[in-house]
Amino acid sequence: MTAAGLAPLLPGVRPAAAPAAAADRPDFTLVRDGAAVDVYVDAADDAAVIRAAGDLRADVERVAAVRPALRHTVPERAAALVVIGTLGASPVVDRLVAQGRLDVSRVRGRWEASVTQVVERPLPGVDRALVIAGSDRRGTVYGVYDTSERIGVSPWYWWADVPVVRRDTVTVPAGPLKRYEPSVRYRGVFVNDEQNLTTWSHRTQEPDKNIGPRTYERIFELLLRLKANYLWPAMHPYSDFFNKHRENPELADRYGIVVGSSHPEALLRNGVHEWEPWAREHPGTDGSAPVYDYTVNPAVISDYWRARARENAVYESSWTLGMRGLHDSALETKYATTVPEKVAVMNDIIADQRRILGEEVGAAAEPQIFIPYKEVLELYNAGVRVPEDVTLIWPDDNHGNMRQLPDAAERARAGGNGIYYHLSYWGRPRSYLWLDTTQLAKVWHELRRVYEHGADRMWIFNVGDVKSIETGLSFCMDMAWDVDRWHADAVEGFLAEWAGRQFGRRHAGEIAAIRTEYYRLAAERRPEFIDRGIFSVVHHGDEAGRRLAAYDRLLERVRAVGAKLPEAYRDAFFELVEYPVHGAYLMNLKYYWADRNALAVRQGRGAGTNRFADLAHAAHAEEVALTQRYNTQVAGGKWDGIVNPYPSQIPKAPGRPTVTRLARQETSGLGVAAEGNETGSARPLSFSSLTRDRRFVDVFNTGFLPVDWAAEADRPWVVLSAASGSLTEQLRLWVEIDWARVPEGVGEATVTVSGAGQRVEVPLRVRHDGERARRRVRGFAEAHGYVSIDAVHADRRVARGGARWRTVRGLGRRTAAVEAVPSTAAAVTGDIAARAPELRYRVWFDGTGTFPVTVFRLPSLDERGHRRLALALDDQPVTVLSGQAVATGNRGDAWARNVEEGVERLTAPVTVTEPGEHVLRLFMVDPAIVVDQIVIDTGGLPAAYLAPPESYHPVFRPEPAPGGGGLDAPGL
């Protein structure tokens, strides 16, 4: 990729309008013939700017193996010069602006904006200059890093080992480039769940510390290259607290990073490490250490906060107000037991903290933030008074669903609103700390909704140990800078652009498609949430096996791309693409085989039971070896300890599954289990000429000695994948229908499997509607006792009242989902059929009856409102469905089930009075509802985790859905 080719890929920048003559100017040359252009920055400019200029010099050296000289005085004579400066802090830059030589429109006076422009004869004796000018210190820094990206240095060059392409000649385009003011003022991360980061830091960066200045330097640089400006540092027991090493806040200020603290860390105090020593040094009158309870020890706690405010007053900081318990625990109030009493205590706490900041920090004590997280949200809603100039930071439910958003009064507050959003989480009901598994389209949906509700002052993302969240973090920072850049149908476009910046444009589209499918599979179930018996291994063509086959195909695509990349890209590709896909696959695979093992025990299999046990443990061993490769071989062992699904002190991903092994017995016998049956064949195999499925019959040995078997069908149009053989363990026999030979109508057939003196009959129920019926059907057709619909496949969409349904690509468990927009629309609670935006689906029913309709929606929340939609059949009365609106934080309840599964199932009955075509109607009641799938059970729907494959539709599903699952393992 050339330098010019990189420029359009920079996030958040715009080519500025320039005179026509500028288009004819040659590119600006930074390096040619082994010589690099000097870099000038005024010595009086901010330390963050001077430091970033040093990074630009290092980046030029990475590209061209020559480091530019750094100047603090203008040379008397130079053919070219890079000029870096901040408006108001660089006399050279200010002079160019005053002379009309540098266009700073939409830059001067803005927050963190910049312009990069080539200026001819900018100074006496200087022929040309590449001028990088910022509205403030970070604006200048971002302009510097934009230039680094334009010459081919990825923000992830160090953190993900993205290689830098070497060139002898390095240029940047002559045309001006502007980075306008960001959509969100403060954009940053919370380094949380950091045991792995601590392990890695201690092993490779600072053996005498557990995350110290050397590690934070790397984090600060990454944040700035991603155009972030804000940090909540590590705070758990196994990491050093940020202010333990006084170089940390000093470095942050020198880099230009604003440092704040998380919801339990009021006024930059880390309660995990700092309260106990403070309490010992400030005992009560009886000599005992005071407890961290403001209703018991307000003076001691106030002094504790004041000491940190005084200590960090000189730095650009963010001050967290309010109070929770030590180490992310709930607020303790011994002498305030009711909610109103706790509200009064919280109001006193905030008033005390504000007084401290006014006295110790003064006007520089901004931003101040209040985070109504978990139990504090209940107190806030009950009447906590937060001063108008304090920013309200709204939390999600820890699983990517915003709990509530600011109302009109809150949006009007001077302090504004922000969010705290999780890409990684430790806690109930399950933790996800290992991989980047939150679907980017879901992140887009929630962040778009947040922004539309006026939460634009601060966005903080929990990124765990930083590694493995590279893609998600990049996307969040892109959106935080320019929230309008990516639209509902363009999230995969971000992935393609981002992959192009890391690996070149040649493979960008395929890598984007791989990541999209990886996120889709995680949306079905995060790999960290895998457990026994989640996915069915007997229904829908082996639901679990179909899923694993999709993972298998995805891994093959990964390997195909990896084989085409130059050797220099292999480490980065492993870290950013291969390890997440392969690791997630293996985490799922070991539990698939464990489930097959458990089923084998119930079915009375013999040698096959042990075979499945071996496969389960082999998949786990392969997963462990894959992680070992990451930590000891990739990038020469650079990442030792940073990636580990099984850390010792925090919640773990599912480990090696328990399996059953049988003692060998010198016996044999024949067993059969047909699809849809755990054992035997009582449930017939169902076939329809519309869906044209294939079904399986598992033939297995109940012992360990070989057994001969044979299978035959009593109808010539039944096709079997095999007719006979000898088996020691098991095989999967596939049954299909030759539709050209089947008579029309409903028929039956039988497949008989025999061996070891046994005969097992497997009944088939076959419905051939004929081509006339296929042509007659205009919508989704019932088959097998159900209708399955992808919500995006509406036959008609009706917009009403300024609201509508739109498609969001890459969202949900299939290829797309539909959401009701705008997110700020008013709820429709009366005359719904006439006033609410509507989705219409034609459905062909074979019979009559009252059938349950289940709508799969994404589990978004609104703790001050409702999450409702409505449905009706034809012109029948509308039924309103109410979803879970509150995050309980519990295990095992409706909210927990919804976030584990990534969907909420809402069910209501419809009555079909006559066979034939009907219209299923779905209505928005509350805005921002997202619908993924719809399933109608007409009497044959089996219990399974996923919705069935989509039903026949002449437009959306004219061909059979992908065939039955199962993996191609020998003998299976």
DSSP secondary structure of 768-792: E-HHHHHHH--SEE-BTTEEEEETT
How do residues 899-935 score in pLDDT, each as one tens digit? 999 999 999 999 999 999 999 999 999 999 999 999 9
Q: Tell me, what's the pLDDT at 959?
A: 85
- Distance, CA of 683 to CA of 883 (rounded, Å): 34
Average pLDDT over residues 598-623: 98
C-alpha neighbours within 13 Å on the C-beta side of residue 595: 22
Reference 735, options 670, 687, 775, 791; nearest CA is: 687
Q: Does residue 68 contact residue 57 with C-beta atoms inside 8 Å?
A: yes
How do residues 411-442 score in pLDDT, each as one tens digit? 999 999 999 999 999 999 999 999 999 999 99
Q: Tell me, what's the pLDDT at 754?
A: 97
- Distance, CA of 144 to CA of 754 (rounded, Å): 75
Q: Tell me, what's the pLDDT at 775?
A: 84
Residue 17: partners with Cβ closer than 8 Å, 6 or more residues away: none
- Distance, CA of 872 to CA of 878 (rounded, Å): 5
Amino acid identity at 971:
G
Residue 2: partners with Cβ closer than 8 Å, 6 or more residues away: none
Q: Tell me, what's the pLDDT at 771?
A: 85
Which residues share a beta bridge with 745? 768
SS3 (DSSP) at 593 = helix
Signed CA dihedral, 101, 106, 108, 114: sign only: negative
Q: What does each C-alpha distance from 717 to 673, 681, 711, 774 come to in angstroms?
A: 22, 20, 15, 20
Which residues share a beta bridge with 93? none
- Distance, CA of 462 to CA of 290 (rounded, Å): 31
**If you ran DSSP here, which 8-state letter would residue 943 be given?**
P
Average pLDDT over residues 126-148: 98
Residue 131: partners with Cβ closer than 8 Å, 6 or more residues away: 83, 85, 93, 96, 102, 115, 116, 117, 118, 119, 122
pLDDT category at 13 given cuts 50, 70, 90 is confident
- Distance, CA of 798 to CA of 821 (rounded, Å): 12
pLDDT category at 773 given cuts 50, 70, 90 is confident
Q: Tell me, what's the pLDDT at 4?
A: 34
Sheet strand arrangement including 745-755 = 685-688, 758-768, 745-755, 707-713, 724-727
- Token pair for residue 229? 């400006």
pLDDT category at 8 given cuts 50, 70, 90 is very low
- Distance, CA of 369 to CA of 310 (rounded, Å): 18
End-to-end CA distance of the chain: 47
Q: Does residue 687 contact residue 742 with C-beta atoms inside 8 Å?
A: no
Q: Tell me, what's the pLDDT at 601?
A: 98
Question: Which parts of 415-460 fold into alpha helices (H)?
Answer: 440-452
How do residues 835-856 score in pLDDT, each as one tens digit? 999 999 999 999 999 999 999 9
Residue 618: partners with Cβ closer than 8 Å, 6 or more residues away: none
How do residues 492-521 score in pLDDT, each as one tens digit? 999 999 999 999 999 999 999 999 999 999
Question: Which parts of 638-793 fold into alpha helices (H)?
Answer: 770-776
pLDDT category at 22 given cuts 50, 70, 90 is low
Q: Tell me, what's the pLDDT at 20?
A: 44
Which residues share a beta bridge with 395? 420
Sheet strand arrangement including 695-701 = 670-674, 695-701, 730-737, 718-720
φ, ψ of residue 318 in degrees (nearest 5): -115, 135
Q: Does residue 223 contact residue 231 with C-beta atoms inside 8 Å?
A: yes
How do residues 633-662 score in pLDDT, each as one tens digit? 999 999 999 999 999 988 999 999 999 999
Q: Does residue 555 contact residue 582 with C-beta atoms inside 8 Å?
A: yes
pLDDT above 70 for 16: no
Sheet strand arrangement including 28-32 = 35-36, 28-32, 170-172
How do residues 254-312 score in pLDDT, each as one tens digit? 999 999 999 999 999 999 999 999 999 999 889 999 999 999 999 999 999 999 999 99
Q: Which residue has the tokens 């006026």?
A: 454
Which residues share a beta bridge with 674? 697
Average pLDDT, whole number, for the chain?
95
How do residues 819-836 score in pLDDT, each as one tens digit? 999 999 999 999 999 999
- If you compute the radius of gyration of the chain from its CA atoms, what whole number of angstroms results? 31
pLDDT above 60 for 7: no
Cis peptide before 958 (omega within 30 of 0): no
- Distance, CA of 619 to CA of 597 (rounded, Å): 13
Task: Enumerate helices (H) and strands (E) in the chain, giving the number of each.
Answer: 23, 39
How do residues 453-490 score in pLDDT, each as one tens digit? 999 999 999 999 999 999 999 999 999 999 999 999 99
Q: Tell me, what's the pLDDT at 405?
A: 97
Q: How far is CA 313 from the centre of its chain?
A: 36
Q: Tell me, what's the pLDDT at 328?
A: 86
User: In this structure, are strands 170-172 and 28-32 parallel, antiparallel, or unpaired?
Assistant: antiparallel
Cis peptide before 340 (omega within 30 of 0): no
- Distance, CA of 764 to CA of 762 (rounded, Å): 7
- Distance, CA of 606 to CA of 610 (rounded, Å): 7
Q: Does residue 597 contact residue 612 with C-beta atoms inside 8 Å?
A: yes
pLDDT above 90 for 544: yes
- Token pair for residue 504? 């070149």
Amino acid identity at 709:
W
How do residues 215-238 score in pLDDT, each as one tens digit? 999 999 999 999 999 999 999 999
Q: Tell me, what's the pLDDT at 312?
A: 97
* Proportion of the chain above pLDDT 90, given as a percent: 94
Residue 644: partners with Cβ closer than 8 Å, 6 or more residues away: 196, 199, 627, 631
Average pLDDT over residues 325-334: 92
Q: Tell me, what's the pLDDT at 688?
A: 96
SS3 per-residue string spanning 320-375: EECCCCCCCCCCCCCCCCCHHHHHHHHHHHHHHHHHHHHHHCHHHCCCEEECCCCH
> Does the predicted TM-score (pTM) go above 0.75?
yes
Q: Does residue 511 contact residue 263 with C-beta atoms inside 8 Å?
A: no
- Token pair for residue 13? 């920048």
Which residues share a beta bridge with 710? 724, 754
Q: Tell me, what's the pLDDT at 501?
A: 96
pLDDT category at 764 given cuts 50, 70, 90 is very high
- Distance, CA of 697 to CA of 692 (rounded, Å): 17
How do residues 527-537 score in pLDDT, each as one tens digit? 999 999 999 99
365 CB burial (10 A radius; 0-12, 13-18, 19+): buried
Q: Tell me, what's the pLDDT at 971?
A: 46
SS3 (DSSP) at 838 = strand
- Distance, CA of 875 to CA of 852 (rounded, Å): 17
- Token pair for residue 525? 């179930």
* Proportion of the chain above pLDDT 70, given as a percent: 96
Q: Does residue 971 contact residue 729 with C-beta atoms inside 8 Å?
A: yes
Signed CA dihedral, 864, 344, 323, 651: sign only: negative
Q: Does residue 502 contact residue 564 with C-beta atoms inside 8 Å?
A: no
- Distance, CA of 440 to CA of 476 (rounded, Å): 9
How do residues 706-745 score in pLDDT, each as one tens digit? 999 999 999 999 999 999 999 999 999 999 999 999 999 9
Q: Tell me, what's the pLDDT at 449?
A: 97
- Distance, CA of 658 to CA of 595 (rounded, Å): 10
Cβ neighbours of 556 (radius 10 Å):
9
Q: Tell me, what's the pLDDT at 6?
A: 43
- Token pair for residue 118? 């080539």
Average pLDDT over residues 958-969: 64
How do residues 148-165 score in pLDDT, each as one tens digit? 999 999 999 999 999 999
Q: What does each C-alpha distance from 142 to 86, 115, 214, 466, 743 come to in angstroms?
A: 11, 10, 22, 21, 71
Amino acid identity at 133:
A
Reference 802, options 822, 832, 830; nearest CA is: 822
Q: Does residue 102 contact residue 133 with C-beta atoms inside 8 Å?
A: yes
C-alpha neighbours within 13 Å on the C-beta side of residue 776: 11
Q: Does residue 833 contact residue 879 with C-beta atoms inside 8 Å?
A: no
Average pLDDT over residues 589-615: 98
